[in-house]
Amino acid sequence: MKKMNWKTKIIFGSLLCITTLLAVGFVWIYLLNAYSLSDPLLADITSPIGSKNHILFLEEGFQDRGITIFVKTSKINRGKTKRVAVLDWDSLYFFKELRWSNDGQVAVFFIQLINESCPEIMGFSINFSTGKIITPPWQNKYATTKKTEAEWKKYETQIIEIVRQHGGLQKDALTQEDLNNLYQKISFWQIPK
């Protein structure tokens, strides 16, 4: 077998380096463009009574972005981040606002049903004093089923009772517009699990 001369080695090595650099460059440009079009956003909201109770709003997706809420407090999941619920299901409901109980212990997430003329509904709740998360029994991590306004209203009564026990709701609300001002871009490795 014939050995390569030094000129052939230099040309071959140069072509290999250039090809590698071009491939890495194209992959980097592709990932940069693809990722920047769908950056996840995160807002960290703390309870009015103390910074130990956190609600994380994660907005992610590409064309149909969705909001998922997580909670982080010592009374729930031993202080680790825990997924609570999806706040907007295509063609079923979407997030309207977050309001706190007057004692700052309960977070209530209001939703609006799509194709229903009903007012906002208390769809989800986190009771920081007991560590209890209240979500509809028909919703799980990956799916939900369409329910009527009457079924939502019946479910809502348990949240209304908890709010009553904690002195009612504060007037101030955190809306989608407020969230948009609080969101920070994050990298995929920073997404809560």
Residues 101 and 82: beta-carbon distance below 8 Å = no
| Cα-based distances in Å from 91 to 97, 131, 143, 153 | 18, 31, 13, 19
Predicted confidence at residue 9, as pLDDT, reads 81
Predicted confidence at residue 158, as pLDDT, reads 94
Rounded CA separation 158/64 (Å): 31
Domains of the chain, by residue range, sit at 1-37, 41-190
pTM as predicted: 0.75
Q: What are φ and ψ of residue 152, in 5° steps? A: -65, -45
Predicted confidence at residue 1, as pLDDT, reads 54
Predicted confidence at residue 187, as pLDDT, reads 66
Predicted confidence at residue 96, as pLDDT, reads 92
Predicted confidence at residue 39, as pLDDT, reads 63
Parts of the chain with a pLDDT under 70: 1-2, 30-39, 61-64, 116, 141-143, 187-191, 193
CA angle at 121 for the pair 40 and 178, rounded to the nearest 5°: 40
Predicted confidence at residue 90, as pLDDT, reads 74
Determine how many CB atoms are found less than 10 A away from the CB of residue 74: 12
